[in-house]
Amino acid sequence: MPRETQFILSGAEFSYPGSSGKVLSGIDLEIRAGEWVALLGSNGSGKTTLLKILSALLVPTQGSSFILGLPPDDGAAERKAPCAMVFQNPEDQIVASTLEEEIAFGPENLGCTAEEIRSRVTHSLEACGLSGMEKQLVSSLSGGQKQRLALAGALAMHPSAILLDEALSMLDPLSRREFTEVIAAEHAKGKTIVQVTHRLEEIRFAERMLLLKDGKIAFDMPREDFFRMKCEELSEFGLELPPFERLCGILRTEGLLPDGCAPDICAAEKYLYDAFC
């Protein structure tokens, strides 16, 4: 069966108040339910603004946007299947003192019963590796734990889509891997994932690559085509493959390159392609 349409933007443009320029211009985009889309681009290309429009935190100043066929100002869209966004800095979205209170905040706003809220708190903590920490103070958590808490709060909303705004950028390699494994598990359940990043090693699970340049869609392609692009083509858009030494470290962290193995660059490129594609 064909996938339901998760997001549609038609002729979408956006300008911030007081600004004479457009952050986004002429965006026509359709994302199907259950897709994993990597949203790429250099700083200032409009990635975060586009993600906020998809999440209904912003509304296009021109054009239209729809979530599961409903306009963003229709309360039914939020009740039907909310979109959950995880930001780069977890401090920007954590509002409560304890883990339990933080995760319960979203379901409470959705009008869930007390029993349902308790169930969602328990399952979200378990999914993010924070079981048994319900009463712990948020202030006692490490940076990686706070980011997992932000993700747990998002999962407790039972969202149809998870939107990640460079959510892995402040994590160490192990925490990035653990975080990505949780996202991959949610994607396997049918969740739509839209992931903003500038780190190409983070997008190995994405099915589709969408690149913004100067507020416009520069290309939209499946990952197989993306990873056939030459380095000089990627550099035109401010994207780079990881340096060789860093690439080997990433591959070892991901378990794709045995310790002590020192492949030549061709072997490393093969590992990279196999890992991503």
Over the stretch 109-165, which tens digit does the pLDDT of each residue have?
888 999 999 999 999 999 998 999 999 999 999 888 899 999 999 999 999 999 999
The answer for residues whose C-beta is within 8 angstroms of residue 196's C-beta and 6 or more apart is 39, 40, 47, 48, 51, 163, 164, 165, 166
Sort 92 into a burial class: Cβ within 10 Å, 0-12 / 13-18 / 19+: exposed
Average pLDDT, the chain: 83
Using DSSP, state whether 261 is helix, strand or coil: coil
Q: Which spans in 203-243 are helix H? A: 223-226, 231-235
The answer for residues whose C-beta is within 8 angstroms of residue 21's C-beta and 6 or more apart is 15
Residue predicted with more confidence, 42 or 87 = 87
pLDDT at res. 245: 55
Does 274 score more than 60 pLDDT? Answer: no
Over the stretch 29-43, which tens digit does the pLDDT of each residue have?
999 999 999 999 888
Q: In what order do the strands lie in the sheet with 62-67?
A: 24-32, 5-14, 62-67
Does 273 score more than 50 pLDDT? Answer: no
